[in-house]
Amino acid sequence: MKKATFPDILSTAILLYCFWLLITGQLVSLCKGDPNVQVLIYGVVISLGVAVFSSRFFIHESPFYLYNPVKWVMMLVYVVCVFCIELIKANLDVAFRALNPALPVHPGIVKVPVDLKSEYGQSMLANSITLTPGTITMDIAEENGQTYYYIHWINVTTQDHKAAGDAIKGRLEKGVGRIWK
């Protein structure tokens, strides 16, 4: 397990403090110019205390990687443009299959190769696939240096790993790859 360094702790504490401001409503108070100083100080102390114990679990890569504004823009583009479009397409596909019994439904499990190296990127892609109707990421496995997802798919059209991956992942993997290394 990675030992926590000062940049790891600081990065985690900043993120925790931002959540503290949101949860306690102090962000609105700060904008109005009427913050509760005692609550702000408690937030700093608690955020630092939690960061000391949790940063080694939270930070796996560069501590300040996500503090880059370009990454936030890429995340916004991914969520609004890429993920929402894939989500709508998957919802329509499942709805048409549910409403029209003539459409084929051939459920099965397929093994899909993934080219993302970052653990966070792999997790984000797996969750994105699972959130789209008709697919569930069941397992992430590494074999001979290649990462594979085992995905339950509502309509298995091919057993070819690459073709199945292209059909299931669509543009999701490329979008996630722009955010995570």
Please check whether residue 43 lies inside any domain of the structure.
yes
Q: Among 10-24, 56-70, 135-149, 166-180, which is the least confidently predicted range?
A: 56-70
Instruction: Give residue-wise pLDDT tens across range 68-126.
Output: 899 889 999 999 999 999 999 999 999 999 999 888 889 999 999 999 998 889 999 99
Judge contact between 156 and 108, C-beta under 8 A.
yes
Task: Indicate the pTM of the whole model.
Answer: 0.78
What pairs with residue 113 in β-bridges? 148
Please check whether residue 1 lies inside any domain of the structure.
no
- 104 and 51 within one domain: no
- 138 and 91 within one domain: yes
> Would strands 146-153 and 108-114 be described as parallel, antiparallel, or unpaired?
antiparallel
Please state, in angstroms and rounded to a whole number, the distance separating the CA atoms of residues 100 and 94. 10
Please state, in angstroms and rounded to a whole number, the distance separating the CA atoms of residues 164 and 95. 21
Domain boundary among 52, 67, 82: 67
Domains in the chain: how many in total?
2
Largest CA distance in the chain: 64
pLDDT over 80 at 2, yes or no: no
Mean pLDDT value across the chain: 90
Query: How high is the pLDDT of residue 49?
Result: 94
| Residues of the chain by 3-state class (helix, strand, coil), percent to 5 | 60, 15, 25
Please state, in angstroms and rounded to a whole number, the distance separating the CA atoms of residues 63 and 54. 13
Residue 131's H or E segment, with its range, is: helix 119-131
Judge contact between 113 and 169, C-beta under 8 A.
no
Burial category of 148 from C-beta neighbours within 10 Å (exposed 0-12, middle 13-18, buried 19 and up): middle
Instruction: Give residue-wise pLDDT tens across range 12-34.
Output: 999 999 999 989 888 888 888 88
Please state, in angstroms and rounded to a whole number, the distance separating the CA atoms of residues 181 and 174. 11
Number of residues in the chain: 181
- 78 and 31 within one domain: no
Q: What is the mean pLDDT of residues 139-157?
A: 94
Please state, in angstroms and rounded to a whole number, the distance separating the CA atoms of residues 31 and 135. 42
- 132 and 75 within one domain: yes
Domain that holds residue 106: 69-179
pLDDT over 70 at 1, yes or no: no
Cα-trace Rg, the chain: 21
- 43 and 113 within one domain: no
Task: Identify the sign of the CA torsion 6, 12, 14, 16.
Answer: negative
Q: Among 36-40, 45-49, 140-144, which is the least confidently predicted range?
A: 36-40
- 36 and 99 within one domain: no
